[in-house]
Amino acid sequence: MKISLLFPPSWHPSQPYLSLPCLSAFLDQAGVRDHSQRDLNIELLDTVLSKTYGLDVYERLLAKLKHLEQSRTGETGPGSNEHYSRIVASLDRFPHLIDEIEPAKDSLRGEAFYDIDRYRECLFLIDRWLELVSSVYFPTRITVVDNQFAYSIYSSKDIGKAIHDEEQNPYIDLYRRYFLPSIVDENTGLVGVSITATSQIVPGLTLCRLIKEASPDIHVIVGGSIFTRLVDNLRRCERLFEVADGFIVFEGETALLELINQLEGKKDFSKVPNLIYRDNGKVMVNQPFYSENLAHHPAPNYDGFALDRYLAPNTVLPVQFSRGCYYKDCAFCALTLDHQNFRQKDPVKVVDELQSLAQKYETPFFFFTDECLALSPTRRLCNEILKRQFDIKWTAEMRFEKNLSRELLSLMRDAGCHKIVFGLETYNKRMMDFMQKGITQESVRRICSDCVDLGIAVHCYIIVGFPTETEEEALETMNFVLDTKKLNSSYGFSCQPCLFDLEKEAPIMSDPGGYGIQRIMRPAAEDLSLGFFYEVTQGMTPAQAETLYQSVYEKISEVVVELPFNYSMADGLLYIARHHARHAPEYTSVS
């Protein structure tokens, strides 16, 4: 039986995603040989960003224009005057864009990537091209990293409509013409589709539907963090089991291997850990949920991924030191649900894996996807890298821990760390305590200063509108970013403001009243909602928080360089590495 693992659109085009390479390596280790993996996200984007596809789009635009000239109705929506205007505008822009789109790809894959003006121009051209392509499927709007449909991705009923809508869903035709024939063949017995972001829900389930229609006997399974957060919803949502035979939630390596064994054997799906499936019309959830032993896991395997098609001049590979979060107390954070407990690999084993990956895929660039690196293992990791004189460049996420010393940061810098991503969330002391962040203003100031001195770039996530937060408290966080010139003017600095979202699995949901939330609501039609509407007893209302968030976002954008650092961590890593190589900065010595 042939196994095919697929990563659907839409995701960032700078680097691959880690989920399938981990599964693929695990299957290799278990002796499962007849399997393949593909990043359809980058393959499909590469197809769309081509002159050949553009000429086909041009014919469709002409046909749509002719149709709308005769039968358009209304001011907005499909078939409307607005739709007609979009088609006319797309045809006007077409002659210029058709000649520019492939050179834009080539520039991003070559030395011109490092020319910031050309880099910016290429991203602009690609965005305009995708807008042009989208006009055929109006009002759908596709971008490099997202999809905007008229349908709600939080409603299984709407999703069911979207994955069948030939007029508004561009992925139906794209899959059929360019990808389905190579996915569905007589030997394929199992297809796994990884859906890890909301931008992948409609494209991913569209793919599942087309595979099942083309070959009903293929067992289609869906994995990824989105449905891990929807376990309870899946129990009551049989509609989704019409396009997939099951969903693997939480971690998938052992589950996928056992599913393969059952498909080749007795087909007793109750033996497959973490599987949600339908049996005689009843949705079954296999519990307790299983957590992997990382000590036995191999390095990820990126074979089969079209690494030369990513829109970057060098390969940046995601890797993983640990799973879960060692802290886990932040009141707002639902990320800890993806991995039920904190586990990590031996640092020496991790360096072995990094060396193997660097040699095999000819790259020194790595992106640690860990929710946050723990301090002591990070020290051992860096010492091992330096002991072997292993020259790599990497970025990772950490916490503003008081024990994150200047000496450790210096060690990380010497071991190749170019950037650290921090979840600041708030700089206000009351909100730090209320969110249970476990950090202090002093630690934040000191660590940011040390990073800049040592030549390590900093990224800060901040949250606007956590329950009970006042406007003054939110502005204190904004002003920390705006007023700390040493930080915001440092090379590679980035900052991403986020509007607070009440997520269904966040710790705050265990005691909403204790956090000033008095009413929680969810539209009845949104049976796949990942969050809730709510009312508060004090602080900013959600509407007030949204208004302030827009202001905070705009003001921070004035001091933060959006491209490339706020656009892509991978692109930013490449820029920082080039900057360091060319300028060889004299870092402040460790005191």
Task: Return the half-sphere exposure (C-beta side, CA atoms, 13 A cut-off) of residue 351.
Answer: 20
Task: Return the half-sphere exposure (C-beta side, CA atoms, 13 A cut-off) of residue 327.
Answer: 24
Give the strands of the sheet with 188-194, arranged side by side.
Answer: 35-39, 2-7, 188-194, 219-223, 246-248, 275-279, 282-285
Pairwise CA distance, residues 577 & 573, whole Å: 6
For residue 359, which of 396, 390, 322, 319 has the smallest C-alpha distance?
A: 390
For residue 193, which of 220, 164, 217, 170 has the smallest C-alpha distance?
A: 220
pLDDT at 336: 60
Hey, is 77 helix, strand or coil? coil
Length of the chain counted residue by residue: 591
Count other C-beta atoms under 10 Å from residue 390's C-beta: 15
CA distances for 227 relative to 275, 335, 440, 504, 508, angstroms: 11, 13, 35, 12, 20
pLDDT at 337: 66
Hey, is 284 helix, strand or coil? strand
pLDDT, tens digit (0-9, with 9 covering 90-100), for 509-530? 989 999 999 999 987 889 999 8
* Residue 558, Ramachandran bin (φ over 0: left; ψ between -120 and 50: alpha; else beta): alpha
Ordered mean pLDDT values, 10 residues apiece, the chain (591 residues): 97 97 98 97 98 97 95 90 96 97 98 98 98 97 96 96 97 98 92 97 98 97 94 91 97 98 97 96 94 95 98 98 92 75 95 98 98 97 98 98 98 98 98 97 98 98 98 98 97 97 88 93 88 94 98 96 93 97 64 43
Q: What single-letter amino acid sits at 546?
A: E
For residue 53, which of 109, 105, 89, 13 has the smallest C-alpha distance?
A: 105
Averaged pLDDT of the chain:
95
Rounded (10°) angle between helices 471-483 and 542-557: 10
**In whole angstroms, what separates CA 394 from the centre of its chain?**
18
Burial class (CB in 10 A: 0-12, 13-18, 19+), 51: exposed
The full set of domains in the chain, from first to last, is 2-43+169-285 (3.40.50.2300), 46-148 (no CATH), 321-583 (3.80.30.20)
Tokens of 74: 């209304």
DSSP 8-state secondary structure symbol assigned to residue 347: H
Strands (E), 525-572: 531-536
Q: What single-letter amino acid sits at 389?
A: Q
